[in-house]
Structure 1
């Protein structure tokens, strides 16, 4: 990890102002030897590299927790380098070690801990946002509409309305309304229904998705303009970001009158001011969000009581549901690729009750099945796969079956994972000249047909195969160690139903070459493909060997 030192020109902010910003309780002050007005100039991460000045920084010490006496030395080291305070990880229910408290007292640095449910990324975002918000509030961030004085999202919405001449809604990534300006008599029906309902109506979300507006919003870094039409007034929209992460969006509606000439510039500045406020809003719910993530993970992977997990997620444990899984095709994403982040945003707007879990390079989506016309799991899988990239080139998506309640969510998830695996194997297999093996990048059980049961059989057979021995085992192990040429030839021959010419064409070899290899399997290893049992075992072996 590397240190991060603030620029000398940055003005300091009193520690009490930073603590006041944390209304979610993720930070706790244990000691402040220099008082609560000690100045903080920036945020740094403690490192093990060359020592650098940390003048006025709050330093995140990511090593031993506050309960460990071993944290005392990093506290002293940070103080020696000019830190005004340090933040240690708290162990819930365990007091800070006396050695750590003594070290902070002697060094004269403020000692804080972060809650165990928070993480270092959240903590850094909170502290940096607190600094930015405090500086903006007193004009340190420079002049401009909405730049100073907005201490809440409601105040910001009112200020932006004044500078743009429009009506404002500030929304999170689920398109829930967090704040709005006053609603005038000329407000359009959509704005009124959005504010009264607390979120953008489902029909409108579907329209934004179909038109590509949602994807444009989550990927754009500038103001998006929508001209007035028969459906509604002129609108300006901008995503609010913290670095690459999307926190929410600000919408400006003309409401029957033209927006002011500088409305777009005012909206850009407002997005900068909104970022720390949205960070605070997000962190206020951070504890509940992490508990929800643990409950969703437990529900989908079958860890713990499914009914309890469902209640924790605000869902009825007896409601029908299905699981959709989306995975990248590529083993490793390109630098800066945020495809799954965008798809996660898209999934949560599919329906208010949807729950999404990001698990590495995979998305798991719990889709409650509601009464009335059903937009099913397959439709969501198709939407995620197709919208990920032109032609669905970037993501494979599998739709699990509808199950009768929360206890069945694990089974639906397992089947969706298996469907994605089948799609991946098909995508990686050699295709016929007409491309028929490639297929769609999304499917449910019906879409992959017998391949799903074959995958289950292979999983069940793997332990038996790995524990066995005999001629087929000898052939596979020896040939794979030598490069796998014979195993690939056997696979092509069996996949072609014993048609030598067709199999040779797939392998791009002469038919006599393939005949020689099959003869070698019989003569060297005693593997006779004319024997039905041997042929079945070889089929399983080449499938299990990949």
Structure 2
């Protein structure tokens, strides 16, 4: 490794206050200073001319993250960070390799909450009392700036969540929603939906945890995305993604593991809309897909409406029959009630025959009964309930009501 005296350009996007603070500390102690968060991302660094840095510091500045160490040095690096975060005073540490310069470090805290660390290279002379005070005072000041930056980021995420929720609920004008999300009204958007498979107790808590996890994921991989948690799903709006890209992004989000593996997730991908005005329709589409995939262990993990269209259509038919029970066929209703009262298989037999498009042999095979047994059941269904299976329209209406009535959970 080599050392260098060349200054590194300031990245103004990292926060002017933290860069100014790093320079102020470095001016007192005489060595290069870096301010890091808890993920060892370099938030700011001193830029005083002719300050001495080693290769580890140079890589951290260029990559904006402290590089991982090879072999046994990785364990030493982790131990150093733990030591600094556990200490309440300045900690002196040797270099991890012979050619690395020694460092003095201090934890950045807000009360008992750790926020990050400050690392100063000791260039030739050990830190004196003034240098230690500069590091400790700098840590307190850095905590204020980091908390303010964290609060600003949280407020921004909350504002975007509120904007997306209003957009998918249809309670805000499209122009306002687009403005609050940083888009034009005609920006193409795709809506993704995520929900735990199955339903039951704790689903609200799962959705809350899912929303937090997905919020962190999308902030890292697609900062322009917006996330909102609803009563049955977590929604993510992604601008300008085609169907294939949207599927890939949804699969990546699931792979990121925002929930433990014992809580399997399903993702739904909407069609690409021509603007945010269509968000309510996209939300309905995503909800339809999740409705059928979260209740089926064999359903695709990531699905669009085209993948489950028939199931969605049947679900809407079931809703309509529940709202308007007089649309139900009396003969099919009588057969279903008779089966429930007498534990008979007439409805399942008729359904199997209709599923097989009138092929008695295929239907009997699916039911694991003899063909003559099935023929007898079909004849008795006609006699007992007046079931008419000769007319194509009657067969269709009969089959639809049986399918939605015999569907699990109906």
Taking structure 2 as the reference length, the TM-score comes to 0.60
Query: Quick check: 2:160–2:226 contact (8 Å CA) kept in 1?
Result: no
Q: What residue number does 2:384 align with?
A: 524
Deviations 1:288-310 (A, max 9, x none): 65444332112113233122122
Residues 321 and 367 in structure 1, CA contact (< 8 A), matched pair in contact too: yes
Query: Conserved in 2, the CA contact under 8 Å of 1:326 and 1:398?
Result: yes
Residue 352 of structure 1: SS of its match in structure 2?
coil
* 2:249 equivalent to 1:380: yes
Q: Cα–Cα, structure 1 residues 181 and 416, in superposed 2: closer, same or farther, change >3 Å?
A: same
Instruction: Render the CA deviation track for 1:376-435: whole Å, top value 9, x for unaligned.
Output: 21112222344548999811111111111111222222222222334346x35xxxxxxx
Which ranges of structure 1 fall in alignment gaps of 5 or more residues? 1-152, 195-199, 201-223, 239-253, 429-437
Q: Aligned pair 1:273/2:121, yes or no?
A: no
Distance 1:392 1:409 in 2: 31
The offset of 1:329, in angstroms, is 0.9
**2:216: which partner in 1?**
345
Query: Partners in 1 of 2:202 and 2:331 — Cα distance?
Result: 43
Q: Which runs of 5+ in 2 are unaligned?
A: 1-16, 82-95, 117-142
Matched, 1:407 2:277: yes
Distance 1:378 1:391, change over 3 A: farther
1:490 and 1:422 map into 2 onto residues whose CA distance is: 24
**1:422 & 1:191 partners in 2: Cα distance?**
49
Q: How does 1:123-162 map to 2 (within 5 A)?
A: none
Q: Over residues 318-342 of structure 1, what are the superposed CA-to-partner deviations in whole Å (9 max), with x where a residue is unaligned?
A: 2111001111112147799655643
- C-alpha change, 1:466 and 1:390, in structure 2 (3 Å) is same
The residue aligned with 1:134 is none
Matched residue, 2:176: 308
The C-alpha deviation readout for 1:459-485, integer Å capped at 9, x for no partner, is 785468533242223334555677896
Task: Say whether 1:356 aligns with 2:215.
Answer: no
Larger Rg: 2
Partner residue, 1:458: 317
Q: Is the 8 A contact 1:228 1:235 kept in 2?
A: no
- Partner Cα distance (2:245, 2:286) in 1: 14
**Which whole-Å CA distance do the structure 2 matches of 1:280 and 1:269 have between them?**
11
| Matches of 1:273 and 1:506, distance apart in 2 | 63
Q: Distance in 2 between matches of 1:376 and 1:266?
A: 41
1:104 match: none
Secondary structure (helix, strand or coil) at the match of 1:226 reads: coil
Structure 1 counterpart SS, 2:300: coil
Q: Secondary structure at the match of 2:221?
A: coil
Structure 1 segment 60-75 matched on structure 2, within 5 A: none
CA apart distance, 1:540: 1.7
Match of 2:187 in 1: 319
1:226 aligns with 2:85: no
- C-alpha distance after superposition, 1:239-294 (max 9, x if no partner): xxxxxxxxxxxxxxx9997597998x969999943399777765566666544433
For residues 2-55 of structure 1, the C-alpha deviation after alignment (integer angstroms, 9 at most, x for no partner) is: xxxxxxxxxxxxxxxxxxxxxxxxxxxxxxxxxxxxxxxxxxxxxxxxxxxxxx
Equivalent pairs counted in the alignment come to 329
1:167–1:451 CA distance, 2 compared to 1 (3 A): farther
Q: Among residues 375, 393, 407, which one is paired with 1:533 in the alignment?
A: 393
User: For the residues of structure 2 that align with 1:260 and 1:380, how far apart are their CA atoms?
Assistant: 43
CA deviation string 1:210-246 (max 9, x = no partner): xxxxxxxxxxxxxx993359xxxx98699xxxxxxxx
RMSD between aligned residues = 5.3
Distance in 2 between the 1:481 and 1:441 partners? 38
In the alignment, is the contact (CA less than 8 A) between 1:474 and 1:525 conserved in 2?
A: yes
Give the number of the structure whose residues are more often helix, by fraction.
2
Distance 1:279 1:506 in 2: 64
**Aligned ranges for residues 67-86 of structure 1 at < 5 Å?**
none
